[in-house]
Structure 1
């Protein structure tokens, strides 16, 4: 009988040598790929700090809403978001920028009245006039016999004076007896258009609270308190200001007049004047064109958190749920950077030889240019250079993050595929 042991030993030696060579090759590829810098230009990427403001188009509402041959691909048409640059003037609907009227500087003790507010009118010997009234959609107060009074933007004290003058002019009361007291029972919700450097421009609803269900003592008390009808609340309702916002030059427009408001104190802790709003006001947040990292943190006028879209289809997990990527992983606090998001997506860690050269893709939409930007970073590059903003940018709401397997894992999968094809043929012999 022929001795087969020498052949077996030879095969074992060959397999051992081949295995060692494969390990050495994979180790060398791992070190080379993990240290390889990805040539990916990130200049102008929204999420990385920049020294100079980005030049973007200041969009405007089209002059003609309807025409015979409307260009539907023009981004300036229809409901395209408006951006406002601070190097160009922001004009209100008023033909001239004159000093603000007194009603935009409300009384220190009362919010200005707005359509929908519930008031109680009381006066001595005022049967037929005393009662509870609601300002209509135009902010008009309608009392019996008298013409409607425009109460929008007034303080309760100013409105009481207007009612007294109306009663005297109508010869219903004499000046000595026409004493009117206006009591605010409920401040209504109002809708405010907010545009510019906010995450969700559009018309927002603030102070949305019901007048029912309150304590009787609060209903009967004089006055009403609300911290939801302020300028800061309108910015928060628009999903917060963007990192490129000009926070010390926010534009508030009321009845054709405008004022610039400095809200930097909300983030710095210094005193700030938060203007109360009425229906019909307009808020514009100009853009600096620069990404300001000090604005990327939770606050009263920035998002507390946001959602991102993640994909992590690695070899050890066949789905996102198996890779522990769930709703808690995709909801990140505002101020999260790419490395933190990559850890949340389970892209970092594991077997060093096979995972060190993994890559992370970040896709984001620049809100100033409305262009989609995509950058790619290696995991090892993120870990070793996490302090560089151009390598480790901030993640913004609704960004997309995807993890790609390393070249070693890809080669292993190719080898497995080749074996799957060869195996049926080897069984024939």
Structure 2
């Protein structure tokens, strides 16, 4: 079994990139230097991308963290590629593009974002994004940095990239990995991070998407998850996120890509815990949506959240050796993300609609999600199949009930029976 699996406020700046669950010897302060100029008002497509830009020493931005791990590229700079362009992918791309521009001594200033080409009002979505600097389909009315470039071909997006950010719908991940695994596509020495929620199940084996990416591409892979509603992140409302990392070097790199004044990053050495919490909370959110659809009230919903958190933690501790319970109790990826998702996420919303209308989740997804994919139902099915294969479904009654209601025609009113 695989076991690795719009107002803004300015909060106090953290003193370290590492969380309470930290790496040994990582107590040295590592923080951002002063913020230089914003991305240019002129689009990069209108500039000489290949030219060498010399910045006077007095204004040249310093490294966000001392001694970032070296880039394998001849330039010595890291290049970020965003694989996915939905609302969450676009929000993360916005943060990454802003950060690499501020710290362009360490990063190539252009960030490429893979967009599966669609037509919006007769025009290509990539052309709309690159001309208007807005993702009108998935993240409308949010200004994107002009150094963020939408690209329709995956190989062009990852060319010379050293830092790969996976944020595609989970249904497309295998197709993406097959293309990237071809010889010569991925830069040797590249690192990856996944913000995709879900798990991979094969009989009695279960694997996180971080582990899947690492096994297919040979890239050290981290996982990002937290109480992060995409539109609120894009609007720069203060929030926190958690990154599970395999090493301190990965922590330094991903912190420098994503940490900002209003998007606080906590790095912990628990890739599996962050991955699993991000996946399993969507199953609990379906249960919360059933409760909302039944109008059962705050007491019942609070009970569902408590039971759900216990099952999330128990599942991870039982099947992923080395996972830490503190990930669920102390980190944004745990209890904070569960609360946010059970009150404001798409899985809760669709589950409530499921109860109220009796429509299938496929129809509800088409009606409410604007072409995006529902994650909780797929995860509920995968987790149930795994637990049945392991003869452990009885130990996780909430997960079992969500599966039965979603796929077996059991009445939503049964959600609280036998818990």
TM-score bracket, shorter-length normalisation: under 0.3
Q: Which has the higher helix share?
A: 2
TM-score, normalization: structure 1? Answer: 0.25
TM-score, normalization: structure 2? Answer: 0.26
Q: Which has the higher strand share?
A: 1
Tell which structure's C-alpha radius of gyration is larger. Answer: 1
